[in-house]
């Protein structure tokens, strides 16, 4: 109950964190395959004739867990930057909504996997993806944290300007 009262005391922060997080998540999820296909198409055409590597094979590797991790880190970083005074609270609130939403699909896959063993691999794939995405958002939120003044030498920048 104490946690709920603290979240309510943040005012509009939970709403803006969820809206910003899901907007950035959706935008990057939609854009990232296209951003990866252009360089992949170019790179696969540059391979020597003996290599039978297709864009689809490269895309299968890059559009899996690495893309999820990259998108999640970016989402966590952006949510943290947009909510600077209480950035970790905003990141945790977004991760909670993300895990609840994606976790509902995970529960459905678990039920299917218990009924039919063909769905076990799909369940584990979704579980790993959810784990990587949640950890990536938290990592991005931590990465967006401002450097401590003591660690930076009392407010001085690297060049000593301040």
The H-assigned helical ranges of 1-160 are 2-9, 13-45, 55-62, 65-82, 87-115, 120-143
In this prediction, residues 72-92 reach a mean pLDDT of 85
pTM of the model: 0.68
- The model's confidence at residue 137, banded by pLDDT at 50, 70 and 90, is very high
pLDDT > 80? residue 98: yes
User: Could you tell me if 91 and 14 are in contact, meaning their C-beta atoms sit under 8 angstroms apart?
Assistant: no
Long-range contacts at 2-5 (CB < 8 A, ≥ 24 apart) = none
- The model's confidence at residue 27, banded by pLDDT at 50, 70 and 90, is confident
pLDDT at residue number 90 = 84
pLDDT digits (tens, 9 = 90+) for 116-136: 988 888 888 889 889 999 999
- Residue 138's CB: how many other CB atoms inside 10 A? 19
Average pLDDT, the chain: 76
pLDDT at residue number 73 = 92
């Amino acid at each position: 109950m104490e946690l709920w009262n603290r979240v309510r005391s943040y005012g509009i922060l939970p709403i803006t964190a969820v809206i910003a997080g899901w907007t950035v998540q959706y935008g990057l999820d939609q854009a990232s395959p296209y951003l990866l296909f252009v360089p992949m198409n170019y790179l696969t055409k540059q391979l020597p004739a003996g290599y039978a590597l297709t864009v689809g094979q490269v895309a299968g590797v890059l559009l899996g867990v690495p893309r999820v991790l990259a998108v999640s880190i970016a989402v966590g970083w952006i949510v943290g930057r947009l909510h600077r005074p209480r950035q970790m609270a905003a990141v945790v609130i977004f991760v909670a909504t993300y895990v609840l939403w994606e976790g509902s699909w995970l529960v459905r896959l678990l039920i299917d996997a218990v009924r039919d063993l063909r769905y076990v691999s799909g369940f584990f794939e979704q579980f790993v993806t959810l784990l990587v995405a949640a950890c990536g958002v938290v990592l991005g939120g931590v990465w967006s944290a401002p450097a401590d003044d003591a660690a930076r030498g009392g407010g001085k920048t690297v060049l000593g300007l301040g």
